[in-house]
Amino acid sequence: MVRTLLRSALREIRQSMGRYLAILAIVGLGVGFFAGLRACQPSMMATGVNYLDKQRLYDFRLLSSLGFTEEDTAAFAALEGVEAARGAVYADFLTDLGEGNEAVVRAHSLTEDMNLPALSAGRMPEEPYECLGDAKYFSEDMLGRTLTVAGDNSEDTRELLRCEGYTIVGLAWSPAYLNFERGTSSVGGGSVAAYVYIPEEGFDFEVYHEIYLTMTDAGEAYSDAYNARRDEMKPAVEDMVDQRAEKRYDDIYAEAMEAITDAQQEITDGWEDYHREKADAENELDDAYRELTDGESDYEQGQRDYEQGRVDYAQGQRDLADGQQKVSDAQQELADAEQEVADGEKELADARQELDDGWAEYNQAKADADRELADARQKLEDGRRELDDAQKELRDAQQKLADAKDQLDRAPDELADARHELDSGWLDYNDGRADAEREFADAERELTDAERELADAREKLRDLKHASTYVLTRSENTGYACFESDTSIVAAISVIFPAFFFLVAALVCMTTMTRMVDEQRTQIGVLKALGYSKGQIMSKYLFYAGSAALIGSLVGYTLGVAGLPWIIWEIYGMIYGFAPLR
């Protein structure tokens, strides 16, 4: 009897396959949605947790308005419960994308063993001027393109970025940016379009802008154990941040005071050097002025001496002519004296001739002749001596005239050289005074500017405020928080949404089976007439509906668990898409 009912039920299924499949499909749809949505949240969460663990997203992000030093990083690394601490820098800058389009890009420094980018194309940067691009913003055909630092950026930004442009050598996903949100910025339109990762050598910085920490025994992300561990660590991290910030403030204040003291001493020494060197320069200029005025006096005296020399030379020429006349006169007198000697000798000869005329007269004549001859010889000797003196004086006068002429010939050149030297001296003097006045004016301006800068430094030091510090966890990361929220939404939908399908399935099944029973009242009556009980007759229809529901549930569960999470993850890929679904 049971076999007869089973064969009847199977025959009924074959004869009403459309009705049977409708029940199967509606049940499978409800079960598939329920099972798929319930499996979706754990799959998405497992994918995110595995990705964050693999890429080693930070547990704490520390910020300070005064920055952090290497010593601060080492202090946090030594904190109990901290696995690693890494300092980092970042900067928002405008870059030209062509055709007049500018975008705000946030440049992060690459950190060792933390916040690791997941490379999707290209390679990692090897040079300071290379970078990893945002895989969600940049496409592979942009590899090799250089992101130039636009001139519209502030001076501080251009100084912080060591290179004028950064070449995209790879594309990567970042665990710090799980979704499409890239944050806000004070640069450009206020919204960050994309991120890039640059080697630390690509920045020119003195202190880190932030420090990232990872915890020991952290547990899985989003888990209660992780949150408990984070909350346990946070007070110690906050205390350490406050301590390091206070020390940083004290160090900056002490360094600034030391620099101000040194600058004040340098300014004081500068003023002393300024006044001393200015006095020395003025003394040197005064000495040079006196030398030049003395030189002018000497030059004027030289001109007067030159004119006097010309007068003396003319007088010497006249004296030479007179001397030559004297020599001629002396030569004439000498010739006359020689004539007198010759006449005396002739008279002596004549006296000798007249010897025969008488000795007495001879002796008288001889005595007169000897006397006259002696006088003549004396005159001759005097004349020769006078001639020698006159010739000597003439030679001396000629030599003096020659010397005077030589001096007069050289005098114009010497006077011209003296004039040139004086003119050069005056030019050097005027240039030297002008240079000295300019240099001292520059020195005075520099010292005045230094005093003003020192005053500004004192004012800034008085305005120096204690550091504003922030201890951020993963929960303050937009992508991390949004991912948890979105997966929770999927989990909530998995509870509410399938209920409608189950209600619809129940309604369809009830309607279908009610109609089927109504249509088969005659068959039911025949079965009763043949002796089948109500339970046996009911089992036929329960088998019909139950088998459809069971098969639909199995098919719906299999397809829902296998396909629906993947479909939803692909839809969420527009927001996330950082890794394939696990």
The CA R_g of the chain, rounded to the nearest whole Å, is: 62
Check residue 344 and give its pLDDT: 63
- Of all residues in the chain, the percent with pLDDT exceeding 90 is 33
pLDDT, tens digit (0-9, with 9 covering 90-100), for 264-313:
898 888 888 888 888 888 888 888 888 878 887 877 777 777 677 777 76
Q: How far apart are CA 495 and CA 112, in angstroms?
A: 42
Query: Residues 169-186: what's their mean pLDDT?
Result: 92
Q: What mean pLDDT is predicted for residues 326-349?
A: 68
Give the residue carrying structure tokens 């992060």: 108
CA distance 203 to 427: 52
Top pLDDT among 489 and 163 is at 163
At 382, is the secondary structure helix, strand, or coil?
helix
DSSP state of 203: B
pLDDT band (50, 70, 90) for residue 376: low
- When pLDDT is cut at 50, 70 and 90, the band that residue 165 belongs to is very high
Of 24, 28, 66, 178, residue with least CA distance to 468? 66
**Segment of 23-27, 61-65, 319-323, 458-462 carrying the highest mean pLDDT:** 61-65
* Residue 37: predicted pLDDT: 79
- Are the beta carbons of 186 and 97 closer than 8 angstroms? no
- 186 within 8 A of 168, measured Cβ to Cβ: no
Which residues in 496-572 belong to E strands, given as ranges? none
* 498 CB neighbour count, 10 Å cutoff: 23
In this predicted structure, what is the pLDDT of residue 128? 95
Burial class for 62, CB neighbours closer than 10 Å (0-12, 13-18, 19+)? buried
**Residue 492: which pLDDT band, with cuts at 50, 70 and 90?**
confident
d(CA 376, CA 340): 6
Q: How many CB atoms lie within 10 A of CB 562?
A: 13
Q: Please tell me the predicted confidence (pLDDT) of residue 36.
A: 81
Averaged pLDDT score across all residues of the chain: 82
Distance CA 328, CA 365 (A): 34
Q: Distance between CA atoms of 187 and 442, rounded to whole angstroms?
A: 38
Alpha carbon 568 to chain centroid, angstroms: 47
pTM confidence score: 0.66
Output the pLDDT for position 373. 64
Q: What is the pLDDT of residue 299?
A: 74
pLDDT for 203-227, tens place per residue?
999 999 999 999 999 889 999 999 9
Distance in angstroms (rounded) separating the CA atoms of residues 397 and 334: 22
Structure confidence by residue, pLDDT tens digits, 467-484: 899 999 999 999 999 888
> What percentage of the chain has pLDDT greater than the value 70?
81
pLDDT of residue 294: 83
Per-residue pLDDT, averaged over 541-552, amounts to: 80
Answer whether residue 357 shows pLDDT above 60: no
Q: Answer for the pair 174, 117: CB distance below 8 angstroms, yes or no.
A: yes
More confident residue, 53 or 338: 53
